[in-house]
Structure 1
Amino acid sequence: MIRKLIALGLFVMAALAGGFYWYVSSPLSLISERVEFHIMPGSGMRAAANDIQGAGVSVRPWALIVLGKLLRAETSIKAGSYEITRGVTTLELLRKLTRGDVSQAEMVFIEGWTFRQMRERLDAHPDVRHDTKGLPEAEVMRLVGATRNVAEGLFFPDTYLFAKQSRDVDILARAYRAMERHLAREWETRAVGLPFADPYQALTLASIVEKETGRVQDRPLIAAVFINRLRQGMLLQTDPTVIYGIGEKFDGNLRKRDLLQDTPYNTYVRAGLPPTPIAMPGLASLQAALHPAPSQALYFVARGDGSSHFSRTLEEHNQAVNRYQKSAK
C-alpha cells in the first residue's frame, strides 16, 4: 500500500512538473502584436509580474515566481523598458528579464547644433525621462558632472543608444564625457605653437570652424586662417559668432548694423576668440582646430558650391569676393 502511495505521489509530481513545464513553454497571450512594459528599479518578481500583467500580458505571477525560484533567478531581474511580441513564453520572458534585454531608443545630436537646439530635441523625445526639463543651464551642468556653468559646445554630437525611459541627464552625461575624451585626445597630440591657452579655447575655435563650413576638406584651412589671424592680432571677423550673439532674435538676415553692434560674440569689433563655443563641433572640426593645415592664408570666401577660396592678402581676397560673391548677385 505504501509503495502504491509513493508511486502515486511520484506520478502526481511528475504530472505537475510536466504540466508546469508545458505552461511556461507555451506562448503567452498578448493584448496586441507587440507589448511594451517597464520594470522599476528595485522591483521584485511579484511586482514585475504584476506590471507585466497590467501591460496586457497573460503571465500568471505565481508561475513567474515559481520559475524564478526554480532557476534561482528571483532576485536577478533587471530594471528597464522591455518589448515582447506574440509567441513569447514565460520561460523566454524570464530569461529576457534576467539578461536585461531591454528595448532601446536612440538620440541623435547633430554637429553645429547649439545647446538650446540639443535640449529642445531631448525634451521632445518620447522615450526619455525628462528630469532636467525646465532646470537652469548651470544646474544641468552640475548634474552631468561638469566644472563649467555654460553648456555650449561641451557635448559631443553623435548617435546615442539608450534603454527606453532612461534619464535625460544620463544621456547628457554620456555626451559630455564623450566630448571630454575627444578633446583631451586631440589636445594631447596638438600641433606645436597653437595660440590657445587651454583646451576650452581650442573647443571654441572648433565650434567656429564647424559653423563656417560643412565641407570636411576645407576645415583645416579655415582653422589655419583663424589661427593665423590670432597670431597676428587680427580680428577674426566671422559671421557665425555675430549671429550667435544675436540669439533667437536673428531673422536670417545679417545686417551691417549687426556687424557694428558691440557684443561679447561680435568678432568684428572684439579681438580674439569669443567667450564660449557657439555650437557643438564634430570630430573633424576638433581635429582641424588642433591640427590646422600648413597655410599662410588670412582670408577665405565662399565659392557658392560649398567650398571656399583662400587668400594670403587683402588684395587677393577682394578679387575673390568680386569673382565669387558679387558675380553671383
Structure 2
Amino acid sequence: MHRVLVTGGSGFLGSHLCDRLIERGNDILCIDNFFTGSKINIKHLLKHPNFEVMRHDLTQPLYVEVNRIFNLACPASPVHYQHDPIQTTKTSVLGAINMLGLAKRLRARILQASTSEVYGDPEIHPQVEGYWGQVNPIGVRSCYDEGKRCAESLFFDYYRKWSLDIKVMRIFNTYGPRMHPNDGRVVSNFIVQALRGEPITIFGDGTQTRSFCYVDDMIDGMLRLMDAPVEFTGPVNFGNPIEFTMLELAETVIKIVGGKASLTFKALPQDDPKQRQPDISLAKQVLGWEPRVSLDEGLKETAAYFRQLLRV
C-alpha cells in the first residue's frame, strides 16, 4: 500500500484517479483549492477510511508525508486557465517547484500530468515525443502552454541534478463523466448544447481535428506510467490516435443525444491548433497501453452523466 498525494484530486481526472487508487487499497491525500474541482466529484469518497481531503493552493509549500505524488493541479480548459492567466502560470510553475521539492525531501516518486498543449499548433502530424512544438509564448493560451513546458523542464532538471524518480505524461484530449458542464471543451460543449436543444457551436469551419480519449483509458495509462521501471521517465504521449473533425464529433453527439440540433459557426479562437493527434507508439511499446473505449461508447456514458447532472 502506498501513501499517495493527488494534487487537483477533486477535478475531472483527479477524482477518477482517486477512485482507482482507493480500489487498489492505497491511502490517499487529495489536495485541491477547488477553483475548478468540485466536492461533488469526491463526495462518495469522503467517508472512506483511506481517503483524506485538504484545501490547499499549490503555489504555497506543502509539508506532508507520502511516497508517491500525482501532480494534476492546474485548470485545463481554455475558459478556466484564461480566467486568471497569471495564477495559471503560477500553479504550473510554482506548483511544480513545490511538489518537486517535496518529492526530493521524501525521495518519493512523482508524476507530472503535462499536456499535448506543449506541442502548440504543431507543424508535424501526428505528434511524437521528440517534437519540440510550435507555441506562441505571448498568446492568450501561453499561460497554460508555457507553464506546462516550464514544469517539464523543472522535472527533468530535478531528475538530472538530484536523480529524482520522475514520470512525465503528455495528456491529449480526454473526456467522460465529471467534466465541468461550462469548461468550454468541445465534448462537454456539444453534449450540453445538444441536451438543451441549443445550436451546437463550431469554431472555424469544423474541419480542424482532435482525438478523444475516454477517462477510464487515460487513468489506466497514468497508473501504468507511475508503476513503470524507474529508468522510464517519459515524456510519453497518452491519447486516442483516431482523429475526428469537429463536424464529425457534432454529428456523433447529435446521433447519441437525439433531437435535431442545428449547427452554428463562429470565428476560430487565437492560437487554436488545427490538428492534434498523438503518436502513442512509445506507450504501446513500453507500457502495453492503448485506448480501448470507442468514441460512441464513451460519449454515451458522458451524455448520460450530463443528462442526470442537468436534469434534462
Q: TM-score category by the smaller chain? A: under 0.3
Larger radius of gyration: 1
TM-score, with length taken from structure 2: 0.24
Higher strand share: 2
TM-score (norm 1): 0.23
Structure (1/2) with the larger helix percentage: 1
